[in-house]
Structure 1
Amino acid sequence: MLALVLVTAMKNADNMLKQIIRAVDTSGDGKIQYEEFRVFVETAERQLLALFRSIDRDQDGRLNKEELHAAFQRAGLAVPKRRLAGFFDEIDMNRDGYISFDEWRDFLLFMPADHNGSALEAALSYYSSIVTVNAEGDSLVSEDTLEGLGYFVAGAVSGGVSRTATAPLDRLKVYLLVNTKASAPVALAAAKHGHPIVAIRDASKPIADAVASLWKAGGLRNFFAGETHSGNGLNVVKIMPESAIRFGSYEASKRFLAVYEGHGDPAQISTVSKFVAGGMGGMTAQFCVYPVDTLKFRLQCETVQGGLKGNALLIRTAQTMWADGGLRAAYRGLGLGLIGMFPYSAIDIGTFEFLKKSYTRSMARYYGIHEEDATPGNIATAILGATSGALGATVVYPLNVLRTRLQTQGTAMHPPTYTGIADVARKTIQNEGVRGLYKGLTPNILKVAPALSITWVCYENMKRILGLH
């Protein structure tokens, strides 16, 4: 009868079932006799009672979460609060906020006795082994699927919030990098003649001129060009799926690489794998939303004083782009985009994860807690996100300039046309020097730093809200 109960309740935990039967069947005849079962239960109950009393510091005959947490700390076991809460709730069958000895014994009765390390560690390991099996014995695998979808949702929300907040800076960046007129000579001359203040003023003049020109062309709304007449439309239409795909693909890549490394735990993959996963997530997202990206850039470059506005401009820009080469025009510069996106996304996400891991390890060591409970707060997350994003954007910025000029060629603001990657690179350096490859870098950094700060803060908070780990 006992064997039948065990097989029914734990049919997906074969190894544990074999251990239990081996422990009860002391005669080794493959059968569990009543006397064997009675001895096993009495022995297990004595051991569990001793462990229960060692945890019950106030000796009131029941355990609360604080006592359980203190017991794990005394045993030198750093356990995440989330996991400890799950362990407690699983044992607290009547949900009264306490664990009685009966509940403790009934749950841990078949915990293997031949464990290495402390009894508490064995109890937690036993819990981890059976929580994936429900009362009917079915494995609860659907949570992985729901968690995977959750990363897409978290990415979409964080991307939409971030892009809306920084859209004007993106508009200013595009205006500067498609403007092919050289602007550095005056500032350089002032610097050479010993006038640093004048040099700084002249160096900032292109940005001031760009702001004035954009305002004159359409006021505040023009700083959100690349959107529909209703406001922050096209940018959000682009960034929400892009951010969702980027983060979702990143998490999926981590799981794949964890299996490839042989341990199956995405949280334990190597630093190199994290960078690779970040790059793969970025490339996947870039490919999926590239036509919308091209349309946005072309729309920004068709927004001029006295021209069409809103949805009329959007429709005409889309028609012109399609007439210019159809799908091929929509994916113009894709090679550069993917080449640039891999290192950018790898550096951004990989650096953020590396900095976050270093931070949590340091805090966990300092406070003597588990790393999962030492995650950075919003301010620290914002600083880490700004640092990683600015680094990634700076490294790949020249590729971003060339790609954007390929995408926007033949528009009102960028009339030159190119035959390909080599042609746009040659003409850019020939007309503007190497500095032309970094045109618009300042507003780009000013946009990327707060944008990535907002993105990472939103993403980390959304993960907490959705219960993703």
Structure 2
Amino acid sequence: MTTDKSPIKRVPDEQELKRLFELIDLNHTGKVDATTLHKAFHETNHPLKNSKSAIDNLFHSLDSNGDDVIDFQEFKDYMRKADAQIHAGFVKIDKDQDGKIVKSELKRYLKQIKDKDVEDFSEFSRHISSKSSSDYITYDQWREFLLFVPRMNGSRLRTAYEFLNNNEADLNSEGDVTVVNEFLKGIGFFLAGGLSGVVSRTCTAPFDRIKVFLIARTDLSSTLLHDKSELAKQHNNVPLKKIRSPLVKAATTLYRQGGLKAFYVGNGLNVMKVFPESAMKFGSFELAKRVMANLENVEDVSQLSKVSTYIAGGLGGVVSQFTVYPIDTLKYRVQCAPLDTKIKGNKLLIETARQMYNEGGMKLFYRGVLVGVAGIFPYAALDLGTFSALKKWYIHKEAKRLKCSEDSVIMSNLVVLPMGAFSGTVGATVVYPINLLRTRLQAQGTFAHPYKYDGFRDVLQQTIKREGLPGLFKGLVPNLAKVCPAVSISYLMYENLKRAMNLE
């Protein structure tokens, strides 16, 4: 008995596409309206012939220019894209690449993407295998069945199952499959991302405070009063001039002038900022991956190329940066206020915001935004992209080792932590100079950073002139000390929340 080879991805030729178009062009006019498409489904005895909403959805997908008729060019564009997606879906299930899918494997896969038991599977599988009683499905049977099935919720297979089993609970009046569920799932990604960011940022707030302190101060010694100063007289038990490490100097200065609370200055604003920021970053990343999956004609985001994954990560970062940039600028201004100021808490926040608005209006809140976006795109791309690449590699390796499907592999928290730390470290180190210059643009003219700049080029030149090239990496160590646990905690929370909320 010969064994079929795994199907080779091919582009349907013109002749085949014309033959398929003739199946629905019953009037031979070169134009197919919705009524004709419904009639064609009945005449060809298609499994979805009684599913009005499914046929309507397919019609709208085929009618790309929205003129209420389908011509051959529209049909050809849709079918070539559909053919590529159908092939990708088959290859994903056909683990041994023998050109056949065992029906029991298909049932397990369908159960995974539906996240619940599959009923009446025998009848459903017979539709796919052209009523054949064999226990496997060939690629030609798979392709023939799915070509005229609309792709809703990212899966033709799931769409066919929902309609054939009359699962009206997942349909709305317009025939969209699981629209409500998908909407709630999308909200879930944003919520999981936001909560992950809040927990992570609160745990690492002191590191962020020291980082901003070091970035703002161009000459750290000027931030430390000598023993003869009033502050040194009050705390003469530890002569500050004997402390050498900038990190220790910064931490000691903050503690002496404000106690433990000094390390959490701006953290309330941080939490207000990080929830939408993290929510937009992770949520937009998931959304961008789905958009890239459509552009690449793949059925699932797990099949995305590395380039598309990194681009999706960068886009997620850009969206999050624009969302919270005004809050970010206000946070830096608050943190750069005099440490001995009598105005504290919300009063300091409101007063700083008022002064900023009086000084430059809303434009001041977006000062340095272009630099911020320039920095956040590569950072988010490297961070999210590297983590996704590592996750994909690990799951593939484990599935191969355990001889199971990749969908069955669950990453241990002990694996997520170092992955998050590594991806965050790579991204933060590469783009740190850009973030430093952006922070100085945001903090310019404050008590801690009195210098003024005309723009990105000016702040770059002044920084190098005053502090040399090492000045571009000032505060990197505490930043990495914050980034490693922060990103690790964030990914740890995000992955577990996704699993708990059935988002994956």
| Structure-1-length-normalised TM-score | 0.73
Corresponding residue number in structure 1 for 2:386: 351
The letter for the 2-side match of 1:89 is: D
How many angstroms apart in 2 are the aligned matches of 1:288 and 1:411? 24
- The one of 472, 491, 504 equivalent to 1:437 is 472
Q: Name the structure 2 match of 1:162.
A: 200
8 Å Cα contact 1:274/1:350 also seen in 2: yes
Check if 1:90 corresponds to 2:118.
yes
- 1:115 to 1:107, Cα distance in 2 relative to 1, 3 A: closer
- Separation in 1 of the partners of 2:243 and 2:132? 69
Alignment of 1:184-263 (within 5 A): 205-227=245-267, 233-263=268-298
Asked if 2 retains the 8 angstrom alpha-carbon contact of 1:182 and 1:431, the reply is no
- Residue among 277, 286, 306 paired with 1:271: 306
Which whole-Å deviations, capped at 9, do the CAs of 1:253-285 have from their partners, x for residues lacking one? 111111111235322111000100100110111
Q: Deviations over 1:235-259 (max 9, x none)?
A: 1110000111111111111111111
How far apart are residue 5 of structure 1 and its match?
12
Gaps of 5+ in 1: 16-71, 92-102, 184-201, 228-232
Per-residue Cα deviation, 1:96-141 (whole angstroms, up to 9, x for no partner):
xxxxxxx665665645346799537999999735333244574423
Q: Distance in 2 between matches of 1:303 and 1:226?
A: 13
Alpha-carbon shift at residue 341 of structure 1 (Å): 0.4
Counterpart of 1:396 in structure 2: which amino acid?
Answer: V
What residue in structure 2 maps to residue 67 of structure 1? none
Within the alignment, does 1:305 sit opposite 2:340 as a pair? yes
TM-aligned CA deviation for residue 83 of structure 1: 2.6
Counterpart-to-counterpart distance in 1, 2:137 and 2:48: 26
Distance 1:176 1:327, change over 3 A: same
Shift of 1:216: 1.4
1:460 match: 495
Match of 1:61 in 2: none
Match of 2:162 in 1: 132
Distance of 1:87 and 1:235 partners within structure 2: 36
- CA shift, 1:73, in A, is 12
Question: 1:306 offset after TM fit, Å?
Answer: 4.4
Q: Provide structure 2 residue ranges, at least 5 long, that are not aligned to the other structure.
A: 1-41, 57-99, 147-156, 222-241
Match of 2:457 in 1: 422
Report the equivalent of 2:21.
Answer: none
The alpha-carbon distance between structure 1 residues 117 and 73, as it changes in their structure 2 partners (threshold 3 A), is closer
Question: Secondary structure of 1:223's partner?
Answer: helix
In 2, the alpha carbon distance for the partners of 1:341 and 1:171 equals 20
Moved more, 425-434 or 300-309: 300-309
The alignment yields a C-alpha RMSD, in angstroms, of 3.3
Q: Quote how far apart the aligned CAs of 1:13 are.
A: 5.4
Change in 2 beyond 3 A, CA 1:80/1:151: farther
Greater displacement, 382-391 / 136-145:
136-145
1:384 aligned partner, one-letter code? M
Question: What is the aligned partner in structure 2 of residue 394 from structure 1?
Answer: 429
Contact residue 78 and residue 370 of structure 1 kept, 8 A: no
Q: Matched residue of 1:360: which SS?
A: helix
Task: Quickly say closer, same or farther: Cα 1:80–1:383, change in 2 above 3 A.
Answer: farther
2:332/2:442 contact within 8 Å kept: yes
Count of equivalent residues:
378
Q: 1:340 aligns with which of 369, 375, 390?
A: 375
Contact 1:336/1:403, CA 8 A, preserved across alignment: yes
Match of 1:131, SS state, is: helix
Change (3 A) 1:296 1:406: same
Structure of higher RCO (CA pairs closer than 8 Å, 6+ residues apart): 1
What one-letter code is carried by the residue in structure 1 that aligns with 2:260? L
Evaluate the alpha carbon distance shift between residue 389 and residue 121 of structure 1 in structure 2; reply closer, same or farther with a 3 A threshold.
farther
CA contact 1:245–1:285 (8 Å) conserved in 2: yes
Q: Aligned to 1:305, what secondary structure does the other structure show?
A: coil
The one-letter code matched in structure 1 to 2:203 is: A
| Bigger Cα displacement from structure 2, 310-319 vs 261-270 | 261-270
Aligned pair 1:112/2:152, yes or no? no
Contact 1:304–1:412, Cα closer than 8 Å, also in 2: no
Structure 1's 160 and 14: CA in aligned 2 closer, same or farther, altered over 3 A? same
Shift of 1:172: 0.6
Q: Does 1:141 align with 2:169?
A: no
Give, in whole Å, the separation in 2 of the partners of 1:311 and 1:238.
Answer: 15
Distance 1:144 1:250 in 2: 16
1:216 aligned partner, one-letter code: R
Paired residue type of 1:152:
F
Confirm whether residue 315 of structure 1 aligns to residue 350 of structure 2. yes
Q: Which residue type is aligned with residue 178 of structure 2?
A: V
User: What amino acid is aligned across from residue 211 of structure 1 in structure 2?
Assistant: A
Counterpart of 1:90, as a letter, is V
* Distance in structure 2 (CA, Å) of the matches to 1:257 and 1:355: 19
- In structure 2, how many angstroms separate the alpha carbons of the residues matched to 1:131 and 1:298? 56
**Distance in 2 between residues matched to 1:438 and 1:172, nearest whole Å:** 14
2:101–2:138 contact (8 Å) kept in structure 1: no
Structure 1 residues 394 and 7: alpha-carbon distance in aligned structure 2, compared to 1, 3 A threshold: closer
Query: What displacement does 1:326 show?
Result: 1.2
For the Cα contact (< 8 Å) 2:103–2:136, is it kept in 1? no
Cα deviation, 1:335-388, whole Å, max 9, x if unaligned, reads 110000000000000000011111111100000111122232111111101100
Give the structure-2-normalised TM-score.
0.68
